[in-house]
Amino acid sequence: MATMTFEEFQASGRDCDDLGAELTDEYWGEEPAHGRIYLDALYIERTDTRPWGARGAYQWYLLIGRNEWFGPLVDLERHLYQFAVAEEYCEK
């Protein structure tokens, strides 16, 4: 079976104004979380939070297991793509 390319993975992404409503297995609390959903199962959250000591506001946040990243969307998409390939989400 072939694996989708990074560009195909990116193209599967779509904006979402309420991740909790679309990803029913995740707990989000009272406020809706905004972000992008990929392959109808994986997500990157849009946030104003930034890591300690960082200058400027990051717009994106990704958590995979115990690893977390803040930064530009394309950088986080690469991390999420690597995870998706390893976990066989990207099989065509």
- Has residue 1 been placed in a domain? no
- Has residue 72 been placed in a domain? yes
- Predicted TM-score of the model (pTM): 0.85
Tokens 């979380």 -> residue: 33
Residue type for position 56: G
- Has residue 92 been placed in a domain? no
pLDDT of residue 55: 61
For 2, which DSSP code?
P
User: Domain range for residue 79?
Assistant: 6-86
Q: Convert the pLDDT of each residue in 24-47 to its tens digit.
A: 766 666 778 889 999 999 999 998
Q: Convert the pLDDT of each residue in 33-85 to its tens digit.
A: 889 999 999 999 998 665 555 666 668 999 999 999 988 899 999 999 999 99
Domain count, the chain: 1
Using alpha carbons only, how large is the chain's radius of gyration in Å? 13
